[in-house]
Structure 1
Amino acid sequence: MSLELPSPIADYVEANARLDLDGMMKTFAADAVLLDNGKRFEGRAEIRTLLQEMVVDLKAIFTPDALRREDDVVVFEGPAHGDFPGSPIRFTYRVTLDGEAIKTMDVSA
């Protein structure tokens, strides 16, 4: 299924498929916030550390298969496969954008 994701989100998903940390990071605003199952990560340095440990190191590749909008929030869902217990796990991403950058990303399983 091909989804019409906004470009920063599509770029993030494409970089994730390559486990390209720099590519994923390019999609975030400098002051972005990422919430991962309730834990808060602020700014690029904290987000980079999280993505290195929880995405790249675990080879966690997310494939969105559902998309909807809730006002100014882009919500997309799908499975992530990788080297982690329970793989694959279905995740929901809730993203707000600031122009062509991800301002907030809230990830939950």
Structure 2
Amino acid sequence: MNLPKVVTDLIDAQNTFDSVAYANCFSETGIMCDEGKDFEGRSAIRHFIEEANKKYQSTMKPLDYTESGNSGILSAECSGTFPGSPLILKFHFKIDDGQIQYLKVTG
């Protein structure tokens, strides 16, 4: 599967529970939508992922990736200590200049 470098970096950061590296995949003004909430900017994203890592210890196994222009959708099997684990989730990306501008996680 051919993934953009920033998506590979995001998966690696998630699987090593590195919230700083995860947040650094985003632009300074990047937005992440997860668990029904929006997190704007690297600091907010880092804080959210740090807390989620403590609670859920979630890892990602990429299954499929499709892209169109600067948008892409990653399907990944996510496993952790959350109800229903493992789940297949979709990660909807907008990527510009090698950084994530927008990411929405859906079921």
TM score, norm. by length of structure 2: 0.91
Aligned-partner SS, 1:95: strand
- SS of the equivalent of 2:57 reads coil
Report Cα offsets for 1:13-56 as digits up to 9, x if no partner: 111111111221221100000111442111112111211122x1
Number of matched residues?
106
Residue 93 (structure 1) shift: 0.4
Code of the aligned partner of 1:6? P
Q: Which residue of 1 aligns with 2:96?
A: 98
Letter in 2 for 1:15: A
Going from structure 1 to structure 2, the CA distance change for 1:37 and 1:70 (only over 3 Å counts) comes to: farther
1:68 and 2:66 matched: yes
Runs of 4+ aligned structure 1 residues displaced above 2 Å come to none
- Note the 1:1-12 alignment, pairs <5 A: 3-12=1-10
Unaligned runs of 5+ in 1: none
Q: Counterparts of 2:35 and 2:66 in 1: how far apart (Å)? A: 20
What letter corresponds to residue 42 of structure 2 in structure 1?
R
Tell me the residue number matched to 2:42: 44
Q: Give the letter aligned to residue 17 of structure 1.
A: N
| Contact 2:77/2:87 (8 A) holds in 1 | yes
Amino acid paired to 2:66? R
Pair 1:69–1:107, CA change in 2 (3 A): same
Whether the 8 Å contact between 2:70 and 2:96 is mirrored in structure 1 is no
Higher deviation after alignment, 33-42 or 96-105: 33-42
Matching residue of 2:15: 17
In structure 2, runs of 5+ residues without a counterpart are none
